[in-house]
Amino acid sequence: MSTIWRLTAFADFRTLGDAVERLDEIDPPIALSWLLFDEGDAARMDVLFQARPDEVAFRAASGLAGDVAITVEPMPDEDWVRISLEGLKPVDAGRFVLFGAHDREAVAPGQIGIEIEAGPAFGTGHHGTTRGCLIAFDEMLDAGFNPKTVFDLGCGTAALAIAAAKVLPDAEILASDIDPEAVEESAENCAKNGTPGIDCFVAEGLDHPKLAGREFELIFANILAGPLVELAPGIAAALAPGGRVILSGLLTEQAGWVSDAYRATGLNIQRRTPLEGWETLVATKA
């Protein structure tokens, strides 16, 4: 069995959050997985590699400056999976709990469990964004919002689409991603979670025949700040009157930039409480 290598970086959350965004945009990925941990006054990012990483090349790819502390060490064969899974603790978000197979017992009575296994599309440290989206959705449900059409844009693992399917059994739910592997994983997750009716497909943004001329009452867009801004006019056009879009995948310093882009389309913006340095916005269409 080949040795797994772990690179660990220590810095403030904002610095490592920027690095995570850079890593998310590299295709194909340069590492097996990366996880971001908020440790109070500081933060830690663990990155797993199939072979010993080149620290200089990694700093260039991630944007981490030379003064950011980095350690590199081989992982014992029996430990690296366990250590990776430690970063995937259950994510509680209102009535929802997002968990891996290793934590199935974490679902309490009355909670709605969403099982998503560890993998590149999940293990990016974006728990604050997924949790923010789920909490916003949970509060909408509590307020009586009952959308009949839902679109998960940039679905990743389809966790948000699955959440919607579990509480909106009569809704039409679509989920797309630019990455074919993510769409394949999404379809597997839908089957595993008992929500096979979700239509998962590959699409670049809103460019797909299934989306042409469509309007949705609820859109999830948990992607990155740049694509959110670029797609703002298209997302606004795809939102039905009275509809809502939950936006995430952006850092605190990017919230104003993204908010302005959606206000420019005529949507009303609500900025929610940041979670672990990540922002969630809710935009509504009159």
Q: Give the per-residue pLDDT at 100.
A: 78
Phi-psi region of 125 (alpha: psi -120 to 50; beta: other; left: phi over 0): left
pLDDT band at 183 (very low <50, low <70, confident <90, very high): very high
Spatial contact of 276 and 129, defined as CB atoms under 8 Å apart: no
Tokens 């590299």: give the residue: 26
In the predicted model, is pLDDT for residue 75 greater than 80?
A: no
Q: Give the per-residue pLDDT at 127.
A: 63
- Geometric angle at alpha carbon 98, from 92 and 99, rounded to 5°: 115
Cis (ω within 30 of 0) for the bond into 28?
Answer: yes
- Geometric angle at alpha carbon 126, from 121 and 132, rounded to 5°: 120
What's the average model confidence in pLDDT over 255-279? Answer: 91
Closest CA to 55 of 100, 123, 23, 7: 7
- CA-to-CA distance for 81 and 102, rounded, in angstroms? 11
- CA-to-CA distance for 111 and 200, rounded, in angstroms? 25
Record the pTM: 0.76
pLDDT, greater one: 280 or 224 = 280
Closest CA to 89 of 74, 105, 75: 105
- Geometric angle at alpha carbon 185, from 250 and 48, rounded to 5°: 65
- CA-to-CA distance for 279 and 255, rounded, in angstroms? 7
pLDDT tens digits, one per residue of 101-128 = 777 877 888 899 999 875 544 433 446 7
- CA-to-CA distance for 224 and 119, rounded, in angstroms? 19
What's the average model confidence in pLDDT over 75-85? Answer: 54
Question: Hey, what amino acid is at 103?
Answer: D
pLDDT tens digits, one per residue of 115-172 = 987 554 443 344 678 889 999 999 999 999 999 999 999 998 899 999 999 999 999 9
- CA-to-CA distance for 98 and 116, rounded, in angstroms? 7
| 58 φ/ψ angles, rounded to the nearest 5 degrees | -65, -45
